[in-house]
Structure 1
Amino acid sequence: MRRLVYALAAAIGLSVSGAASGQSLSYEVLEFEDLKGWRSDDHDAALKVFLNTCMDMKDPDWSSLCSLAQEQTSARTFFELFFKPVLVEDGDPMLFTGYFEPELNGSLQRTATYRYPLYKKPPEVRNGIQWLSRAQIENGDALSGRGLEIAWIDDPVDVFFLQIQGSGRVKLPDGNYLRVGYGGKNGHDYKSVGQELVRRGVYQPHQVSAQVIRNWVKRNPVAGRRLLQTNPSYVFFREVSRVPADQGPLGAMNRSITTLRSIAVDPKFTPLGAPVWIEKGGSTPMRRLMIAQDTGSAIKGAQRADIFYGTGDYAGRRAGETRDPGRMVVLMPIQRAYALAFEGQDG
């Protein structure tokens, strides 16, 4: 193994200038024997997910590997033969978190039960320009009566957390599903309501979670509404009807992501579509090959990943409990790893 600093960053599609906290960006080329649990993973499952997005990777090295992947009879052999594990670090410790796709109860018509709307983006809202705040939208009538409602939901807290997640499924009264995705926002920065509860002295930082916030708002409906409105950011949606309800939501590559095989990464350091080996610690350790198919506004740094846990309440609980150390290792095309090593020796 070799420690390679600032070596051929441009050639592997990574940004040296994006290193966190002003730290030096470094690369360490590993062997597959260095990956804990590598032999026992389900490589066929990982290859299937890789094939779901690799055709969208335009770089010739990746596109040629995508073609080869479609002809493989042994997934593990394919990864070991054509890739090298590369540990990319920027000086900050690894942090794994989790995310999920919420499932809400809703209706296409407003009723006494379903009365909290999911809105399309109004035509006058422009990206990057501040529009009305959350409080102004919810306390006023700027959106009502304009036919912008996609669906009506039975719980305003569910609407709030759906806006944080950015996509979800709505279960309709007839048992069918409607999938919605991110459609834009009002131009205001996100403000954490959990941090607001800490600031008020209601909870200590370690006590705050999505479920704690949800329960507090339900116990205090009037104060809870005002609490949620301390976050001025408001997200609009779009119907994603082309994605079947039995498939995962669309990720940053505009393809469905897969439960416990897709992760969100910082694309400054990890190419979208690349296989990534994760070694997550904590109370529920995880060793498996994931595919980098998504991004997130809070996912910044070389050793930072958000694990997709799936759809619904159970997935949400697992995602909310995940905040663990470990490491992630990017699998790079072998010719790029060799070029990286060569450049590092010359430097």
Structure 2
Amino acid sequence: MMLRAIRAALVAAVAMAGTMGSADDLDTTYEILDFDSLDGWAADDHSAALSVFLNTCGDLNDPDWKSLCAVARETTDARDFFELFFRPVVISDGGDGLFTGYFEPELEGSLAPSQRFRYPLYRMPTEARDVSPWLPRREILTSGVMEGRGLEIAWVDDPVELFFLQIQGSGRIRLPDGRHIRVGYGGANGQPYRSIGQELIRRGSMEAHQASAERIKDWVRGNPFDGPELLFHNPSYVFFREVSEVPADRGPLGAMNRSITSMRSIAVDPAYTPLGAPVWIEKDGNAPLRRLMIAQDTGSAIKGAQRADIFFGTGDMAGLEAGKVMDPGRLVVLLPIQRAYALLPESVL
């Protein structure tokens, strides 16, 4: 009863405060909401979100987050937990809301090269860590600089899927005996990323609305000379590391070095959204989604206060679903009550 009394007092303060501006950055604004204003909040599975929150909340070091994590481990009512100890906050930097999707690719591969498995995944060589930018993609793959050094983790059968694995940054390799190994981002050569989709559009080879990952893959495979050459348009090259300590039935490691969960984990811009925070998403478009997610990952293309990438899972079906998402909407970050109120300008306190 005491907790609910405290919450009632805070709700009254919010009603008086209205919309808040940023205390630190004139380009960033904050608005504290009621849970009743979150579209679809009551219908969500809050227990599922709480389970995902618990996967990473123990790694949060700030006292208020640590206290909430301890309470979360003992709670028997997930919705009540979020409503009692958090406030919904819309953080805006002036940009429109944008949701995309990502997934963990699964490639066919082997721990030894063969006629079928000819395309290696490399660990990062020492000199690439010491010099940035290092060699561009073309030189890494054609100069012989990587050969004979034992840097191969595995070999796969499709150079196009390997190229897209580098864009995703992590994935699973299914071995001939049915086992899996998992690989994650191990570094990069420091060269700029250049989109091969944008290059196809610039050349007139593809319209902008056609440039999905699957269409681009088909174009590369269907052009035996120009396709492989197109991949060299992107000088950026990603190296990998093996992360097979993560069981095959769990998701890949996110930015918090914990497994992420399909349709409950999102990648965000940590400049605006704290990693580990619950985030209510209201995604519009062809397949509207209203769901409580947990911010557990980041991405080089995920920039802005209202930007998020939804993790769809592992494998081809997850990839097909993730590739369909380019939708508007709204992100609402759930912050501990004291943090939410710290965003209030002093003039309204």
Question: Residue 19 of structure 1 corresponds to which residue in structure 2?
Answer: none
**How far does the alpha carbon of each residue in 1:20-44 deviate from its partner, in whole angstroms, 9 at most, with x for none?**
xxx7211111000000000110000
Task: State how far apart, in whole Å, the 2-side matches of 1:128 and 1:201 are.
Answer: 36
Question: Residue 343 of structure 1 corresponds to which residue in structure 2?
Answer: 346
Stretches of structure 1 lacking an aligned partner (at least 5 in a row): 10-15, 17-22
Task: State how far apart, in whole Å, the 1-side matches of 2:205 and 2:189 are.
Answer: 29
Question: Residue 88 of structure 1 corresponds to which residue in structure 2?
Answer: 91
1:4 alignment partner AA: M
| 1:174–1:57 Cα change, 3 Å | same
| 1:3–1:129 Cα change, 3 Å | same
Aligned residue for 1:315, secondary structure, equals helix
C-alpha displacement at 1:342, in angstroms? 6.4
C-alpha displacement at 1:339, in angstroms? 3.4
Question: Residue 4 of structure 1 corresponds to which residue in structure 2?
Answer: 20
| 1:153–1:344 Cα change, 3 Å | farther
Question: Residue 155 of structure 2 corresponds to which residue in structure 1?
Answer: 152
Structure 1 window deviating more from structure 2 (63-72 vs 128-137): it is: 128-137
Query: How many pairs were matched up?
Result: 333
C-alpha displacement at 1:344, in angstroms? 5.4
The answer to whether the 8 Å contact 1:127/1:187 transfers is no
Whether 1:232 and 2:244 are equivalent positions in the alignment is: no
Stretches of structure 2 lacking an aligned partner (at least 5 in a row): 1-14
Question: Residue 318 of structure 2 corresponds to which residue in structure 1?
Answer: 315
The answer to whether the 8 Å contact 2:125/2:151 transfers is yes
- Of residues 44, 47, 64 in structure 1, which corresponds to 2:47? 44
Q: TM-score, normalised by structure 1?
A: 0.94
**How far does the alpha carbon of each residue in 1:50-109 deviate from its partner, in whole angstroms, 9 at most, with x for none?**
000011111111110000000000000000011110111111110000111000000001
Whether 1:63 and 2:79 are equivalent positions in the alignment is: no
After superposition, where does 1:204-243 map in structure 2 within 5 Å? 204-243=207-246
Whether 1:330 and 2:333 are equivalent positions in the alignment is: yes
- Of residues 287, 293, 297 in structure 2, which corresponds to 1:290? 293
1:227 alignment partner AA: L
The answer to whether the 8 Å contact 2:279/2:332 transfers is yes
After superposition, where does 1:76-225 map in structure 2 within 5 Å? 76-126=79-129, 129-225=132-228
**How far does the alpha carbon of each residue in 1:171-190 deviate from its partner, in whole angstroms, 9 at most, with x for none?**
00000000000111111011
Q: Report sequence identity in percent.
A: 65
Whether 1:29 and 2:19 are equivalent positions in the alignment is: no
Whether 1:301 and 2:317 are equivalent positions in the alignment is: no
Q: TM-score, normalised by structure 2?
A: 0.93
C-alpha displacement at 1:209, in angstroms? 1.1
The answer to whether the 8 Å contact 1:4/1:344 transfers is no
Task: State how far apart, in whole Å, the 1-side matches of 2:326 and 2:39 are.
Answer: 20
Root-mean-square deviation (CA, aligned residues, Å) is 1.2
The answer to whether the 8 Å contact 1:127/1:184 transfers is no
